[in-house]
Amino acid sequence: MSTITHVNPDDLHKNPAFSQGTIVETRRLLFVGGQNGIDAEGKIEGDALQPSKQALRNVLNVLNVAGATQADVARLGIYFTMDVDIYAAYEASNEVWGDYPTAITVLRVAALGRPEAKVEIEAVAALR
């Protein structure tokens, strides 16, 4: 059973890729800091697609260590620079993340904290 209740009002536009809102009912929340797609050696490899996947793998890693899965994620913040093909990035992300819609905020920013990064993904999850 997921810890998240999805809220999708009937009269709001539907998109299977995300939920309009999520409700968490828990005393324990996990905040996953912004992941740039840095690998275990601290490097960002490849164009934007590989780091997008690596960023989500890092989010999944933190979720896993905390005892959660992507089904427990209440919010994803997804931040891209302007030179990323956002649809290609979504497709790449889907390979890693799978079909787990949640409440998302997607922004195109001037840059990320790490100068060479093109993507940053943060999460909030409910823990049991």
CA 86 centroid distance within chain: 14
The 3-class SS string of 58-73 reads HHHHHHHHHCCCHHHE
Does the footprint of a second copy cover residue 81 (CB under 8 A)? yes
Q: Give yes or no for a contact between 24 and 126, defined as CB atoms under 8 angstroms apart.
A: yes
The footprint of a second copy on residues 33-72 (CB under 8 A) is 33-35, 38-42, 58, 61-62, 64-66
78 near a second copy, judged by CB under 8 A: yes
DSSP 8-state assignment for residue 40: T
Amino acid identity of residue 78, one-letter, is I
Q: Is 1 in the site for a second copy (CB under 8 A)?
A: no
Q: Please give the residue ranges that form the binding site for a second copy (CB under 8 A).
A: 7, 9, 11-13, 18-35, 38-42, 58, 61-62, 64-66, 74-75, 77-79, 81-82, 86, 102-114, 120, 122, 124, 127
